[in-house]
Amino acid sequence: MSKIHVTTSVNGDAVEFLCDPRETLLDVLRDRLHLTGAKEGCGTGDCGACSVTLDGRLVCSCLVLGAEAEGHEIGTIEGIANGEELHPLQQKFIEHAALQCGICTPGILVATKALLEKNPDPTETEVRYWLAGNLCRCTGYDKIIRAVMDTAADLRSDMKEAT
């Protein structure tokens, strides 16, 4: 089967790859680009472990074909920290112990970052609904919600100080 040549951008870097038409963006990220932060949980768009952004929009990379990435901008968990400096969400997840096994964590961080960019002051209910497509079988979610609410409050006070 002939492979498709795809030119795209991942975390701001121009990227080219060849992929089979059946290969998902998740397969491409993990197996061709060696960005293994996005995880395969269910492979059917139910669990959110493979969450990435596509032109800023939160999606499941298991439900996007690699070929569909052509000309678009992909954002993954690998692009969230600034070098060695963790993103505030990552720092708060550690402080709140908002993870145990860690499989869901990259997807949840990508998803919550997308939420806070869209809505810097979400209610707890909004956070819970936003994350309804990110399954975690360890934490019971509460620590995750605390970490997100705490990060959001910190980022808002940082914004106030900056203005």
Residues that bind another protein (CB under 8 A): 1, 4, 21-22, 24, 43-46, 48, 51, 54, 57-60, 62-65, 67-68, 70, 111, 114-115, 129-134
- The closest alpha carbon to 156, from 106, 105, 120, 114, belongs to 120
Q: Which CB atom, from 132 or from 162, has the smaller least distance to another protein? A: 132
Residues with Cβ < 8 Å from 153, sequence gap 6 or more?
A: none
Torsion 35-39-45-51 (CA) sign: negative
Smallest gap from residue 161 Cβ to another protein (A): 30
96 touches 143 (CB < 8 A): yes
- Distance (Å, rounded) from C-alpha 155 to C-alpha 11? 22
